[in-house]
Structure 1
Amino acid sequence: MNAHEFAAAQWTRATGAGVDPHEYRRVTDALTSVDDWGPSLVRTAHAHLARADAARSNISRGGHLLMAARWFHLATLGPNPEPARAAAGADEALGRALTALEPDARRVSGDGFTGWLRGPRDAPRTVIVVPGLDSAKEEFLDLASALLARGLAVFAMDGPGQGSLAATTTLRPDYEQIVRRVVDALGVAHVAVVGLSLGGYFAARAAALEPRVTSVATVSGPFRLDWGQLPGPVRDIMAARTGGGMEAARAFARHVDLSALAPRITAPLLVVDGGRDTIPGVTNGEQLAALAPHGTYLSVPHGDHLLGNARSDWLPHVADHLMA
């Protein structure tokens, strides 16, 4: 895959994450090799940091820092000689942005997780946003904004093998253990959980096994993985994030099967899929919604993976579901 093909494949994911589509075109049209992806996007992130440093108001400063966080995160999606540094840059930029824009935002970390708790302290519900295989808390800022606009509190997190923790931890299938620690650390009686991509599996698993999850949504989450059919790039990412090569990745993939757990999800469940999300080896979520006692299925025919090309078709619906 050449640089322009790779950039085209990431187009809706990048714009869905909230970067300016015109800037994305300018940056990626200048790439001469896929190997330029990471360094070029990191330079773009640093340009936004420079704008933040020159800004005359906290609002402008915070806006530039949020954009820098997005670009740093996107830099980790392609070949990058220092992915941990890019992930750390995203984490630092997000922290600086929230310090400028939301002084009450609170960093909460524990064994296997870290993230930011945002929103009113007396919010009627706290929503945990769970990222996926190679995503991070910086990718879903627009979803967090939609939830915050509804008066909810939001904890956008990185878990084992994700985002700022990818360099020091590895993916684990029993993510309900992490969600359990998060709920304990937040000190709330119950939570809603939304998971995106592989995070959808994590969210559904948590809803089945952690009784304090009282509402759940999945977006482009797998119901089951078939290792033999997964594309090579997905296997490679999974091997890197599980930390033990292909055998560890294969073992992890075997765990991703919600057939037995779906009937145990008693909380209201909304499953969202894009009709154009057809990754080989990934069974989409219709079966999950059918097996869960209170499952609802929303398929957006023109939506792709993560539905970055169709946000208005699902994002308000998911936010309203988690608010109810």
Structure 2
Amino acid sequence: MSETNRQWLLAKRPDGRPTEDCFEMVEREVPDPGPREVLVRTRYMSVDPYMRGRMRDAESYAEPWDVGEAMRAGVVGEVVESNSPRWEAGDVVNGNLRWADYAVADEDQLVPVDPDRAPISTALGVLGMPGRTAYFGLLDVGRPKPGDTVVVSGAAGAVGSVVGQIAKHAGCRVVGIAGADEKVHWLTGELGFDEAINYRETESVRGALAEACPDGIDVYYDNVGGPITDAAFAHLAVRARVVVCGQISLYNAEERPTGPRKLGELITKRARVEGVLVRDYVERYEEANERLAHWVADGVVQYRETVTEGLENAPDAFLGLFDGVNIGKQVVQVSDPEN
């Protein structure tokens, strides 16, 4: 075990898009676990768009970090020292821990990860928070029916890619919106989406959606907000359901655009808009975990991961989310189990 522990702190609050100087890496001694605590060595760490909100000094569904505070993320790691009867050295666990090589966690902060079910990194993606968000957001909030047209923005991301595949499994026609030809090909090829739109190369997203959805959009799963969502609102079908999951196009805006501008569409279409926050479903996590694991094992749901190696590169991996460089789930591999 290393004698030092690298960890990332929030160095300052961003002004608009975060920059490298918003992050500071420091080295400390590896912490000792107290009573009913364990020491976890990080194997994989998640970076997610919602973390941008935690860099603000503003109320949100995720508590903001203080300047100088260690940043936190979903982590899959290995217990290396335990003062808890619930965990033994060698156990693989998942929890919300520090951006660090090692972290101390209370025994109740952790859940087990089964290395025989799937690669352990999937506990941060398709079999973790993003997968559960897709599952509950689509099935409980979107309520798709066979024959519905489902449109997913951010469709090649960790959440959107799972949403589209569950919708296909439910008998829907699925249209994805993404920002690169490679992503479009992945969606319509491996994942089986019926159509996909590259919004960066399309002259009019609104026009492309009109062609792709001639009977309107029954379920719009919104991961991005902004102009793409404006375009989708123009094509909502009667009794459409809009699932608001993310607004990444606005996360770096210091002045939010005036709005909402498109609510008039909800009157004529009698549509419903509802946000989804996965922690509301904590009592049903096992349901989602079991079904997602079954679908992954059967090939109904496929996944990809974009893996950045090295804790020192975690800020780059996070910042890349705002350029859409990742396909599927973006994770950081912090350590190798062989080392």
TM over 0.5: no
TM-score by length of 2: 0.29
Larger RCO, structure (CA 8 Å, separation 6 or more): 2
Bigger CA radius of gyration: 2
Structure with more helix by fraction: 1
